[in-house]
Chain A
Amino acid sequence: MSAIKPLVSVEHLSLAFTGNRKAQALTDVSFHLHAGEVLGLLGESGSGKSVTLRTLLRLHSERTTQISGLITVDGLDVLALNSRALQAYRGATTSMIFQEPGLAFDPVYTIGQQIVEVILAHEAVNHSVARHRALEMLDRVQIPQARRRFDAYPHELSGGMRQRAMIALALACKPKLLLADEPTTALDATVQIQILLLLRELQKETGMAVIFVTHDIGAAVEIADRIAVMYGGRIAEENAVAGIVQHPSHPYTAGLLGATVDSSHRGKPLISIPGSPPNLANLPPGCPFAPRCTSASDQCRTECPSVVESPAHADLASPPRLACWHPIR
């Protein structure tokens, strides 16, 4: 382990929804993130990537969720914060951008009003200073004619502009950690690349840490330093981007890469993973991927592998980690 304390550390996080629809959404998830790092959380629907993100902001209803484990962000024990401290934490230390900026904004206030509100809530500044800062933020996210857009309502902006405004809102109080929940999934390809480049630029400029959730390997490769692949509520594999893309060790990662269509596949059948993602209300006893895995053994079906750091790279700050009994070499 490195001597510097990580900004974010998640230890043995498990989460179960106990409401009408029961589901074991997360099981023993652990990861660390240092200041200035970008971690991509990659997975299919139901893999637990968005739940992990929402738990970092404690957005789940406490009545219907059961959480165990430890989350520390910038020295704060997030799961133990009282409601006042939680309010200060959300938006100032950690903030989040969502997939649908149209739903994340309040439709009856202008973009500017909403950014000003965030600044006033977290900092002891007067209205005109906050307004000036909000305008500056809109400029920073490359919204043309920021002054005019300041007074625009969310529905008056296009999807790409709204996502930029959302980023301005999230970064208004200079958070140390930005949580991005599929921010480019709903956008067109030409707009997606603009937003990815903007996020990359802002991340370099502010030195914040980012957790970027996506199901699109391409987007993750564009923005992340490290990628953690999630499956069935667990981390299957974590490695530097190049390692994940070029030498996947977990059969699921390899399958996902094989199933991602690119130009080289033309004319050949795709290598697909058989079956469908697991039901979180009824997870298999062993490795969650075992029913779909071609190299699964009896051990895989009864005993779940834990996430182990690669001994060969123990000297690295974040060595590759893997949860598999039969890794690909």
Chain B
Amino acid sequence: MAKITFITHDNKNHTVDVQNGLTVMEGAVQNDIPGIDADCGGGMACATCHVYVKDDWFDKLPAKEDGEEDMLDMAFEPKKNSRLSCQIIVSDDLDGLEVNIPSKQS
């Protein structure tokens, strides 16, 4: 279990408990966090679960797999700390993770 904080574009914090093994995207969708569309359902095929990971957390996450960076090319306003939340798998190590949700997903 990890506490994950989603910060929406209007600067509201949403902290939720997400079970280990789920993705950060699933944690957002199950808790009705606004701003994560996840159109393709976690297939790394749409770039609509795009988040910005807080800098101190970015390097702690397992590296991106092939294909994620390609999809991020298509994301709305990608930055250095961009990730697809469907590719981040929750574990105890992620307790306290903070991610910012972009103003739009497309």
Q: Do A and B come from the same complex?
A: no
